């Protein structure tokens, strides 16, 4: 490539309902790499974009939650496959975003793809691990099974731009929830790349919606939105004032809240079940037994 | 041949000994409260039963400190198998004193003795037995073995002792200690439970019982020494609690209101369905968060169902809670009666047609005849708001998908009922209903092993069963 060539600068868009709209506000913001050099422009999501994303997520919920668990596993595994195909792009995005060496960035991408594969496999096992039959004292069949909570707003971590992103997104959608995710503000490129992966894999439009922009600006609208069922505040880690404000807003319709940790966790650790069970409802069905 | 008349069959009050006044149960002893005292009345007669202490902020602080000390020094470190034995003791004493508890519950709450005797108190004992057995098996729960600490628990007046058991038994089994506030209008069985804790030699401070009203509850929820809040009550207060704990590390479970759909398909077993509708809405005077307060009946059988339902409602015996024949007792308080009347009047004003079972109501006390409304639309307030009384709103549907859509058209999601002989339809509809408990061809069944709790604005967390442990263990997801 000639050094004289002027590169084509990119202005990335949002990912809502399977399409790539620009922000309704018309605003975008500059994304720099860790050294402060210009990388791209990203769309600056607005309140209206957040609301559009919720509409898309709600529309996608019945079909996504109604699919067989096996099918959801297949769809998520396919996302991992497409990510694997695009490794160089993700490695570059992680390097630019997080300032990691090439080999460390490779390691992050490895871990992110592996995490997605791990979560994909949970789709058809969760009900067996977190549900159970209940031996009631009477002639009744009685079974408790997990179901998805609904539309989940996810504030992706600000620092871990890919592994953290996958680690908060996959557990939400694997069980049948649909997601509206707000990416890291300063490090949105891996999320943008992931949106492109999602658009070319089998994830139905609206199941995962990705907004780039400021959590502090967008999240209050999601936290108070009456058609959002739950919110993951991980992206507000360390910002106790914002986290508390969002938790108060979330009480308007009693959203399930996954609280913000004091600091971003070590994403390489085994996540356990909690990231999934935080967005599940247990349903118990009774029926009499007799002839 | 004339119909046989019922002769009264009153349960004796002699088995209970109600004191003139009651203090707070803190650190194993009854102590005076710092606040003003209040009276608890028998809602069936308006007779004042006792004067009860009101806990103020200093009392709450005292109780939380006692609970913390007991948690740190005694209950937390105690091996699970030993905690279990205390819970087994309590369960046994509840069984032994079951008649006393049932009569006291009916006097203070207004519910028929038939229900307090056959449902509430046996289920209370069963709940303690069930969770006693978990205390030394927590490593198999899926939520680890580490308790959370001091639990602040606030319970409602509709099932005073049963709600206490739902809160206290799992908390103690997991190694937590508790500060519990019974409802203002129904404190007496909780205070008798305090005596039972003494009788069982439960170490001081493990269970603390503070009587009072909303302010006392708020002080418990907001006390910085409380690690876990468990609340059963209105959605409005539930939201206030969720706001109050925002930004803290407190864990919360909320079991709130409901507006359950009871769906009757045209192929339902009709006799059972009618019994189920009656049980769904008139059990406990309809003071049930999971009551089947919206009857959704398929259009083709609506006329037949209504005719049978009215005939059955006409045979319900409304009156003295202590009479063993009584089906429907007293409304718990003047305030609740006013709310039921107000919403029922609004139902009429909005255009629904009101029908009440012909029955004679006692002249003193708080009473409301079993009532149903037909011609109810989804927009009517009686179809949307929780009435928490013996009032049924009847709507119709044509197709299963319309039934599901109407059933889910509510901010609540606690329970639902399905009546049909077709198994595949039950499973399909049960899967589509956004509700935590679905009763198919039955209604209002409760069991200690069976998790209970809601979707959406009916709250979060589950009580009962293995899932109920999650609320009281660090490794559980609230």
Residue B477 within any structural domain of the chain: no
Residue B7 within any structural domain of the chain: no
Residue A127 within any structural domain of the chain: yes
Residue B2 within any structural domain of the chain: no
B412-440 average pLDDT score: 98
Residue B176 within any structural domain of the chain: yes
Do residue B243 and residue A288 have CB atoms under 8 angstroms apart? no
Residue among A229, A244, A278 minimizing CB distance to B246: A244
Q: B169-194 pLDDT, tens per residue? A: 999 999 999 999 999 999 999 999 99
- pLDDT at residue number B1: 46
Residue A222 within any structural domain of the chain: yes
What is the CATH number for B80? 3.40.605.10
Bridge pairing between strands B251-255 and B150-154: unpaired
Residue B477: pLDDT over 70? no
Rounded to a whole number of angstroms, the distance from the CA of B180 to the nearest CA of chain A is 23
* B118, B131, B238, B247: best to mutate for the A interface, most A CBs within 10 A: B247
Regarding whether B388 and B354 lie in a shared domain, the answer is yes
Residue A22 within any structural domain of the chain: no
Regarding whether B367 and B347 lie in a shared domain, the answer is yes
Regarding whether B189 and B79 lie in a shared domain, the answer is yes
The structure tokens listed for B100 are: 């006393």
CA distance A90 to A102: 11
Do residue A284 and residue B455 have CB atoms under 8 angstroms apart? no
What is the CATH number for A117? 3.40.605.10
Full domain range(s) for residue B462: 21-256+456-472
pTM attached to this predicted model: 0.97
Residue among B436, B439, B457 minimizing CB distance to A254: B457
Rounded to a whole number of angstroms, the distance from the CA of A261 to the nearest CA of chain B is 10
Residue B12 within any structural domain of the chain: no
- What are the backbone dihedrals phi and psi of residue A249, each rounded to the nearest 5 degrees, phi first? -65, -35
B210-239 average pLDDT score: 98
Residue B2: pLDDT over 70? no
Do residue A134 and residue B450 have CB atoms under 8 angstroms apart? yes
Q: Is B439 on the interface with A (CB under 8 A)?
A: yes
- pLDDT at residue number A291: 77
Residue B315: pLDDT over 50? yes
Is B289 marked active-site?
yes
CA-only gyration radius of chain A, Å: 20
Regarding whether B298 and B227 lie in a shared domain, the answer is no
pLDDT in single tens digits along all 291 residues of chain A: 567 899 899 999 999 999 999 999 999 999 999 999 999 999 999 999 999 999 999 999 999 999 999 999 999 999 999 999 999 999 999 999 999 999 999 999 999 999 999 999 999 999 999 999 999 999 999 999 999 999 999 999 999 999 999 999 999 999 999 999 999 999 999 999 999 999 999 999 999 999 999 999 999 999 999 999 999 999 999 999 999 999 999 999 999 999 999 999 999 999 999 999 999 999 999 999 997
For every residue of B38-74, DSSP letters joined together read EEEEETTTTEEEEEE----HHHHHHHHHHHHHHIIII
> Hey, how many other C-beta atoms are within 10 angstroms of the C-beta on B129?
18
What is the CATH number for B418? 3.40.309.10
Do residue B437 and residue A286 have CB atoms under 8 angstroms apart? yes
Residue of B nearest to A150 (CA): B456
- Cα angle for residues B279, B285, B289 (degrees, 5° grid): 80
Domain count, chain A: 1
Residue A5 within any structural domain of the chain: no
Q: Is B242 on the interface with A (CB under 8 A)?
A: yes
Residue B171 within any structural domain of the chain: yes
Q: List chain A residues with CB under 8 Å of B442.
A: 140, 286-288
Question: How does DSSP classify residue A144?
Answer: E
Regarding whether B283 and B137 lie in a shared domain, the answer is no
Residue among B442, B459, B477 minimizing CB distance to A278: B477
Residue among B238, B451, B456 minimizing CB distance to A284: B451
Sheet arrangement for strand B21-22: B21-22, B47-52, B38-42
Residue of A nearest to B447 (CA): A136
Residue A121 within any structural domain of the chain: yes
Regarding whether B269 and B126 lie in a shared domain, the answer is no
Q: Of residues B11, B105, B197, B289, which has the active-site annotation?
A: B289
Residue A137 within any structural domain of the chain: yes
> Hey, how many other C-beta atoms are within 10 angstroms of the C-beta on B149?
21
Q: List chain A residues with CB under 8 Å of B430.
A: 283, 285
Regarding whether B219 and B268 lie in a shared domain, the answer is no
Helices B57-70, B214-222: crossing angle, 10 deg rounding = 40
Full domain range(s) for residue A232: 28-288
Do residue B246 and residue A287 have CB atoms under 8 angstroms apart? no
Residue B449 within any structural domain of the chain: no
The structure tokens listed for B219 are: 């002080």
* A141, A146, A282: best to mutate for the B interface, most B CBs within 10 A: A282
Domain count, chain B: 2
Is B255 marked active-site?
yes
Residue B144 within any structural domain of the chain: yes
Rounded to a whole number of angstroms, the distance from the CA of A254 to the nearest CA of chain B is 6
User: What are the distances in angstroms from CA B343 to CA A58, B63, B177, B284, B348?
Assistant: 32, 39, 40, 19, 9
- pLDDT at residue number A4: 86
Do residue B411 and residue A250 have CB atoms under 8 angstroms apart? no
Grade residue B6 by pLDDT with cuts at 50, 70 and 90: confident
Do residue B450 and residue A254 have CB atoms under 8 angstroms apart? no
Q: B381-403 pLDDT, tens per residue? A: 999 999 999 999 999 999 999 99
Rounded to a whole number of angstroms, the distance from the CA of A124 to the nearest CA of chain B is 16
Residue A172 within any structural domain of the chain: yes
Residue A74 within any structural domain of the chain: yes
Q: B251-302 pLDDT, tens per residue? A: 999 999 999 999 999 999 999 999 999 999 999 999 999 999 999 999 999 9
Q: Are B207 and B172 in contact (CB under 8 A)?
A: yes
> What is the maximum alpha-carbon separation in chain A?
85
* B134, B241, B242, B466: best to mutate for the A interface, most A CBs within 10 A: B242
How much is the ipTM here? 0.97
Q: Is B105 on the interface with A (CB under 8 A)?
A: no
Do residue A287 and residue B426 have CB atoms under 8 angstroms apart? yes
Residue among B411, B430, B450 minimizing CB distance to A253: B411
């Amino acid at each position: 490539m000639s050094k004289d060539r002027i590169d084509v600068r990119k202005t990335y868009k949002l990912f809502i309902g399977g399409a790539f709209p620009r922000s309704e506000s018309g605003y975008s913001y500059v994304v720099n790499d860790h050294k402060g050099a210009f990388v791209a422009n990203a769309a600056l999501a607005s309140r209206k974009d957040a609301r559009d994303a919720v509409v898309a997520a709600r529309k996608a919920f019945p079909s996504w939650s109604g699919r067989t668990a096996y099918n959801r596993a297949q769809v998520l595994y396919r996302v991992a496959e497409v990510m694997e195909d695009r490794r160089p792009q993700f490695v570059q995005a992680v390097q630019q975003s997080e300032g990691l060496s090439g080999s460390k960035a490779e390691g992050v991408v490895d871990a992110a793809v592996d995490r997605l594969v791990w979560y994909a496999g949970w789709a058809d096992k969760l009900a067996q691990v977190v549900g159970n039959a209940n031996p009631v004292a009477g002639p009744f069949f009685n079974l408790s099974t997990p179901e998805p909570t609904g539309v989940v707003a996810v504030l992706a971590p600000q620092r871990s731009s890919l592994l953290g992103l996958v680690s908060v997104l996959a557990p939400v959608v694997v069980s049948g929830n649909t997601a509206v995710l707000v990416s890291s503000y300063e490090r949105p490129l891996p999320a943008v790349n992931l949106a492109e992966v999602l658009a070319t894999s089998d994830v139905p439009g609206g199941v995962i919606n990705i907004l780039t922009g400021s959590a502090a600006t967008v999240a209050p609208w999601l936290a108070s939105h009456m058609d959002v069922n739950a919110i993951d505040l991980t992206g507000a880690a360390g910002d106790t004032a914002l986290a508390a404000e969002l938790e108060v807003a979330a009480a308007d319709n009693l959203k399930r809240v996954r609280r913000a940790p004091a600091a971003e966790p070590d994403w390489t650790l085994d996540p356990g079940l909690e990231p999934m069970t935080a967005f599940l409802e247990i349903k118990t069905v009774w029926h009499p037994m007799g002839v | 041949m004339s119909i046989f008349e019922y002769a009264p069959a009153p349960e004796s009050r002699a088995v209970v000994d109600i004191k003139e006044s009651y203090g707070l149960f803190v650190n194993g002893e009854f102590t005076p409260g710092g606040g003003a005292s209040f009276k608890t009345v028998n809602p069936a007669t308006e007779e004042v039963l006792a004067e009860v202490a009101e806990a103020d902020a200093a009392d709450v602080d005292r109780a939380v400190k006692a609970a913390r000390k007991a948690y740190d020094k005694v209950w937390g470190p105690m091996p699970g198998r030993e905690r279990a034995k205390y819970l087994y003791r309590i369960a046994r004493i509840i069984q032994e004193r079951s008649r006393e508890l049932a009569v006291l519950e009916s006097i203070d709450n207004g519910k028929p003795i038939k229900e307090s005797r056959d449902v509430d108190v046996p289920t209370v004992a069963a709940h303690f037995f069930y969770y006693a057995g978990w205390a030394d098996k927590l490593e198999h729960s899926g939520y680890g073995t580490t308790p959370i600490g001091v639990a602040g628990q606030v319970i409602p007046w509709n099932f005073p002792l049963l709600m206490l058991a739902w809160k206290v038994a799992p908390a103690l089994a997991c190694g937590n200690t508790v500060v519990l506030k019974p409802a203002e209008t129904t404190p007496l069985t909780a205070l008798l439970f305090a005596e039972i804790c003494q009788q069982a030699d439960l170490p001081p401070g493990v269970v603390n019982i503070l009587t009072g009203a909303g302010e006392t509850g708020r002080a418990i929820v907001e006390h910085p020494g409380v690690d876990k809040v468990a609340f059963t009550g209105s959605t409005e207060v539930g939201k206030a609690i969720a706001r109050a704990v925002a930004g803290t590390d407190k864990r919360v479970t909320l079991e709130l209101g409901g507006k359950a759909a009871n769906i009757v398909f045209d192929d339902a077993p009709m006799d059972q369905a009618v019994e189920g509708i009656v049980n769904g809405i008139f059990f406990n005077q309809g003071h049930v968060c999971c009551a089947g307060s919206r009857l959704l009946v398929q259009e083709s059988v609506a006329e037949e169902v209504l005719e049978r339902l009215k005939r059955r409602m006409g045979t319900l015996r409304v009156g003295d809670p202590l009479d063993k024949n009584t089906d429907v007792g007293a409304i718990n308080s003047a305030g609740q009666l006013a709310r039921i009347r107000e919403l029922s009047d609004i139902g009429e004003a909005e255009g629904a047609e009101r029908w009440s079972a012909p029955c004679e109501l006692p002249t003193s006390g708080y009473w409301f005849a079993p009532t149903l409304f037909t011609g109810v639309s989804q927009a009517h307030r009686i179809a949307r708001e929780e009435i928490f009384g013996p009032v049924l709103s009847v709507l119709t549907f044509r197709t299963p998908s319309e039934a599901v859509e109407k059933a889910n058209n509510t901010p609540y999601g606690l329970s639902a009922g399905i009546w049909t002989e077709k198994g595949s339809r039950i499973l399909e509809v049960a899967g589509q209903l956004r509700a935590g408990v679905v009763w198919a061809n039955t209604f209002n069944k409760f069991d200690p092993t069976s998790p209970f709790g809601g979707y959406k604005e009916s709250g979060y967390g589950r009580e009962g069963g293995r899932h109920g442990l999650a609320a009281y263990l660090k490794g559980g997801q609230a």
